[in-house]
Amino acid sequence: MLTPVIDEDGAPFWEYAARGELRVQACAACGELRFPPRPCCPHCRSFDSEWRLMSGRGRIWSYVLPHPPLLPEYAAQAPYNAVLVELADAPRIRLVGNVVAAPGAPLNSVDPARLRIGAPVRVAFTEVDGVTVPRWLLERS
Amino acid sequence: MLKDATAIVGIGQTAFAKQLHETEKTLACRAVLAALDDAGIDPGEVDAFASYTMEETDEVEVAKAVGAGDVTFFSKVGYGGGGSCATVGHLAAAVATGQASVGVAWRSRKRGSGPRPWKNTAVQLPTPGQWTRPFGLLRPADEIGMLARRYMHEYGATRDHLFNVALACRNRANQNPAAIMYERPLTREMYMTARWISEPLCLFDNCLETDGALACVIVSAERARDCRQKPVYVHAAAQGLPAQHHGMVNYWNDDPLSGPAWTAARHLWKQADFGPADVDVAQIYDAFTPLVPLSLEGYGFCGRGEGGAFTEGGALEIGGRLPLNTGGGGLSEAYVHGFNLINEGVKQLRGTSTAQVPDATTCLVTAGEGVPTSAVLLRS
Yes or no: say if B35 and B216 are a contact pair by the CB < 8 Å rule.
yes
Query: By C-alpha distance, which of B310, B230, B333, B367 is closest to B13?
Result: B333
Yes or no: say if B172 and B314 are a contact pair by the CB < 8 Å rule.
no
- Give the residue extent of every domain in chain B: 6-114+208-379
Q: Which residues of B touch A74 (CB under 8 A)?
A: 136, 138
User: Could you say which of B130, B146, B244 has the minimum Cβ distance to residue A64?
Assistant: B146
Amino acid at B117: P
B285 is catalytic: yes
The alpha-carbon radius of gyration of chain A (Å, integer) is 16
- Taking CB atoms and an 8 Å limit, are A36 and B147 in contact across chains? no
Task: Give the DSSP H or E segment for B211.
Answer: strand B211-220
- Taking CB atoms and an 8 Å limit, are B195 and A67 in contact across chains? yes
User: Cα separation of B304 and B258, whole Å?
Assistant: 9
Yes or no: say if B213 and B336 are a contact pair by the CB < 8 Å rule.
yes
Q: Identify the active-site residue in B52, B151, B191, B285.
A: B285
Tell me the per-residue pLDDT of B223-273, one tens digit each, with 9 for 90 and over.
999 999 999 999 999 999 999 998 889 999 999 999 999 999 999 999 999
Given pLDDT bands bounded at 50, 70 and 90, which one contains residue B126?
very low
User: Could you say which of B119, B147, B196 has the minimum Cβ distance to residue A65?
Assistant: B196
Inform me whether the C-beta atom of residue B145 falls under 8 Å from chain A C-beta atoms: yes
- Asked whether the bond before A36 is cis by omega within 30 degrees of 0, the reply is yes
How many CB atoms neighbour CB A31 within 10 A? Answer: 12
Burial class (CB in 10 A: 0-12, 13-18, 19+), A48: exposed
ipTM of the complex, rounded to two decimals: 0.97
B155 is catalytic: no
Beta strands B196-199 and A120-128 are unpaired
User: Cα separation of A75 and A71, whole Å?
Assistant: 6
Inform me whether the C-beta atom of residue B270 falls under 8 Å from chain A C-beta atoms: no
Q: Which residues of A touch B136 (CB under 8 A)?
A: 66, 70, 74, 77, 80, 82, 98, 107
Tell me the per-residue pLDDT of B289-314, one tens digit each, with 9 for 90 and over.
999 999 999 999 999 999 999 999 99
Q: What's the number of CA atoms in the CB half-sphere (13 Å) around residue B220?
A: 12
Query: What is the distance in angstroms between the Cα of A57 and the nearest Cα belonging to chain B?
Result: 17
Note which residues in 97-116 of chain B have CB less than 8 A from chain A.
Answer: 116
Q: What is the pLDDT along chain A (141 residues), one digit of tens a residue?
A: 999 989 899 999 999 999 999 999 999 999 999 999 999 999 999 999 999 999 999 999 999 999 999 999 999 999 999 999 999 999 899 999 999 999 999 999 999 999 999 999 999 999 999 999 999 999 976
Note which residues in 31-60 of chain A have CB less than 8 A from chain B.
Answer: 35-36, 42
Yes or no: say if B103 and B48 are a contact pair by the CB < 8 Å rule.
yes
Whole-number Cα distances in Å, B320 to A56, B3, B6, B357: 49, 28, 30, 10
pTM: predicted TM-score of the whole model, two decimal places: 0.97
Note which residues in 240-259 of chain B have CB less than 8 A from chain A.
Answer: 244, 246, 249, 251-254, 256
Q: Which CATH superfamily is domain B6-114+208-379 in?
A: Thiolase/Chalcone synthase (3.40.47.10)
